[in-house]
Amino acid sequence: MKIVFTGGGTGGHFYPLVAVAQAINREVTEKKLVAPRLFYLASRAYDERALFETNLKFRRVPAGKRRRYFSPLNFLDTIRTGWGIIVALAQLFLIYPDLIFSKGGYDSFPTLLAARWLKIPVFIHESDAKPGRVNLWSAKFAVRIALSYAEAASYFPAAAGARIAVTGNPIREELLLPISVGAREFLKLEPAAPIILVIGGSQGAAAINDTLVDILPALLERYQVVHQTGAANLAEVKQRVSVLLHGHPHAGRYRPFANLNSDALRMAGGGSSLAVTRAGSILFEMAAWGLPAIVVPIPEPISHDQHENALTYARQGGAVVLEQNNLTPSILLSEINRLFNQPNLLAAMATQAKKFARPEAARLIAAEIIKLALAHES
């Protein structure tokens, strides 16, 4: 049994693929099946350690991004995508997998097109409440379509209904349960002041970073902050903070990280009382942890999917939405204080977040992948 994974460009695409690979490995062990050969086709490995730990063999397939605005890079990326299609055809012909599991995104397009030409079955997963273009296109020939949000089903043709299931978003097994015991000690934080987790996605978010830094002196009077800045932003954030918090009596309440690894993320999730975050796949981890959130989606002209995700999730009651256009230091500080001044509201948000969670998503998808792959293999 051979299965190819594709999709990505971001952690929001990559890590759900890893979660499904973990679940497949667990399923075949429990059911005493022959271990499958797993491959990951994309333009870059993204996280080589995660690939190694899940036995995913990386094969590079070039892919170009199609921007929604005019850019000369679109021309270069069209050439890159064309070459990627040729490479994907060669890779799939050599591997000839029983199934391809795709998360969508521009990185998956060359592999999906090659799979269609080679008549290899495709299973797609859509993370967002408003599907992306590649997933809407590939849904025309996919044998299964899994959704994180039930609202996404309305964007697909009615004829696809029998192939659609709402599974939720796959979460890596090591992140399903937060850790609260020892979290403050692990993160080197004080034992009493409430903790706020600020995380702008796998690459950080400059708008959130800038606004947070501006209110840090006031924020740290009452709270502690664990901040994932994104690797590209850490040095700049640290430089600004060193000036702003010079001589501040509670400067030690601020803990910046380029990226939080699995243990640190579980500790931060378990120890925090509130998160400030973007509206990508991280929302499903927040839901699994029962962590209330202030969600700041990427503006709609740039990312239509995040805006829809944020509103859909907020309607469940686990979060409030703060549009980036309204993201000023005073408004963010006021909203944080408003929520902490209403502990019953925070508790209700935590309950509603838990209700939204679908911790079984990776297992459900893995079971269906194995079923389809075995049928194709035979």
pLDDT per residue, tens digit, the chain (378 aa), is 999 999 977 888 899 999 999 999 999 999 999 999 999 999 999 999 999 999 999 999 998 776 555 566 666 778 889 999 999 999 999 999 999 999 999 899 999 999 999 999 999 999 999 999 999 999 999 999 999 999 999 999 988 889 999 999 999 999 999 999 999 999 999 999 999 999 986 565 889 999 999 999 999 999 999 999 988 899 999 999 999 999 999 999 999 999 999 999 999 999 999 999 999 889 999 999 999 999 999 887 676 688 899 999 999 999 999 999 999 999 999 999 999 999 999 999 999 999 999 999 999 999 999 999 999 876
Kindly report the pTM of this predicted structure: 0.91
| Cβ-Cβ contacts under 8 Å for 341 (sequence gap 6 or more) | none
Amino acid at 184: R
Q: What's the CA gap between 120 and 112, in Å, rounded?
A: 9
Q: What's the CA gap between 156 and 141, in Å, rounded?
A: 12
Tens digit of pLDDT for each residue in 335-369?
999 999 999 999 999 999 999 999 999 999 999 99
**Domains with residue ranges and CATH for the chain:** 2-170+359-377 (3.40.50.2000), 177-356 (3.40.50.2000)
